[in-house]
Structure 1
Amino acid sequence: MHEIRKFIDTISPMNNSDWDFFSSKLQEVKLKKNTTLLQIGKVENYLSFISKGIIRLYIPRVESDLTFGFLFDNEFVTAYDSLLTQSPSEYQIETLTETILWKISNKDLQEVYEKTNNGNIIGRKMAENMFLIKSKRELSLLSRTAEERYLDLFSDRPNLLQQIPLKYIASYIGVTPQALSRIRKRIT
């Protein structure tokens, strides 16, 4: 649990009483590889911190899934749009490795926002960060080639390429696995 405290303190340090209140609401969950955290059509009720693991966000399709996000150690994961609106999710979330999460329910999260000194500040800064990540992803898809997106991914997260199946990486950068293979050959 110290990872989440350290992470939150980099955003906006919590005093001990606020931390005690917040941490009392957290539930540790250990998950196996390929566990579904949220199914399409279900409402998101949790914000989770990834203590260990890799998680994929995707839209299941008959021909092949459309992967649009990966999350790693020391990052938050949620279907944020579903959490905010309490409407069914249009995508799924699954673990790609054995994963340890610290979860807080939406109800408890709202209580943290109301009863702590800087819960709202942390929430706002996390929402701003999620927006920036989403914006960067959208701009990349609109303005960069598949090869440039692959190189960006490799430079941003080199560990990704060793731990995630290439079919998911291909989907993430918007190409077929065969096209990704050609990109990788050109680069090497």
Structure 2
Amino acid sequence: MEKIRTLFEQQVSMSDRDWEVFSSRLQLKTFSAKSNILEVGNTENYLSFIQSGMVRYFIPEELDDLTFGFSFEGEFMSAYDAFITRKPSVYNIQSLVPTTLWRIHYDDLQVVYDKSTVGNTIGRFAAEGLFLKKAKRELELLKETAEERYLKLFKERPELIKKIPLKYIASYIGITPQALSRIRKRIS
């Protein structure tokens, strides 16, 4: 839980009272590897911080899922569009490895916004982080080749990318597993 406070305090100073208002509403939840954290059709009720582990965001398809994102330890994760609209999610979130989350329920977050002096700043910080991740992903798809996207992902998360199945990485960068194998062979 202290990782969260440290992360927030990089952006805004928090009094012990504000931290108590926020942290008292956090719930610790652990998921085993390959567990669905959220499924299509369910409303996202939580904004979560990954204490340990990693998750993937994907659209389930009959033959091959379409993986479009990952979140790692020390990051916020949520089906944020479903969280803020209170509408059912159109994608799944799945743990890739055993994953531990600190989560805050939507209703509790509204209380934090109302009862703490930095509540809105905390919410904005989490929302901005999720938005920046989404914007970065969109720009990568528009401006970079599949090989550049693979190399960037490998450079940013070398220790973690080894734990992600290649079929998910291929889907994420928008190519087939066979094309990813050719890229990996060419750059090794």
Q: What TM-score do the two structures reach when normalised by structure 2?
A: 0.96
3-state SS of paired residue (2:162):
helix
1:124 aligns with 2:124: yes
Q: Which runs of 5+ in 1 are unaligned?
A: none
**Paired residue for 1:73?**
73
Q: What is the distance in 2 between the residues matched to 1:38 and 1:86?
A: 14
Aligned AA (1:106): Y
Q: What is the distance in 2 between the residues matched to 1:55 and 1:47?
A: 14
CA-CA distance at 1:126 after TM superposition: 2.2
CA-CA distance at 1:38 after TM superposition: 0.5
Over residues 110-153 of structure 1, what are the superposed CA-to-partner deviations in whole Å (9 max), with x where a residue is unaligned? 11011111111121122222222111111111121111111111
1:2 aligns with 2:21: no
CA-CA distance at 1:159 after TM superposition: 2.0
3-state SS of paired residue (1:27):
strand
**Paired residue for 1:108?**
108
Q: What is the distance in 2 between the residues matched to 1:35 and 1:185?
A: 31
Q: What TM-score do the two structures reach when normalised by structure 1?
A: 0.96
3-state SS of paired residue (1:11):
coil
Q: What is the distance in 1 between the residues matched to 2:149 and 2:100?
A: 29
**Paired residue for 1:162?**
162
1:133 aligns with 2:133: yes
- Check the 8 A contact 2:52/2:99 in 1, yes or no: yes
Q: What is the distance in 2 between the residues matched to 1:5 and 1:89?
A: 28
Aligned AA (1:126): A
Computed over aligned residues only, the root mean square deviation of the Cα atoms, in angstroms, reads 1.0
Q: What is the distance in 2 between the residues matched to 1:103 and 1:73?
A: 14
Runs of 4 or more, structure 1, over 4 Å off, are none
Task: Indicate the larger mover: 92-101 or 130-139.
Answer: 130-139
Aligned AA (1:140): E
Over residues 65-123 of structure 1, what are the superposed CA-to-partner deviations in whole Å (9 max), with x where a residue is unaligned? 11111111111111000000000101000100111111110000011011111111121
Q: Residues 144-183 of structure 1: matches in 2 within 5 Å?
A: 144-183=144-183
CA-CA distance at 1:13 after TM superposition: 2.5
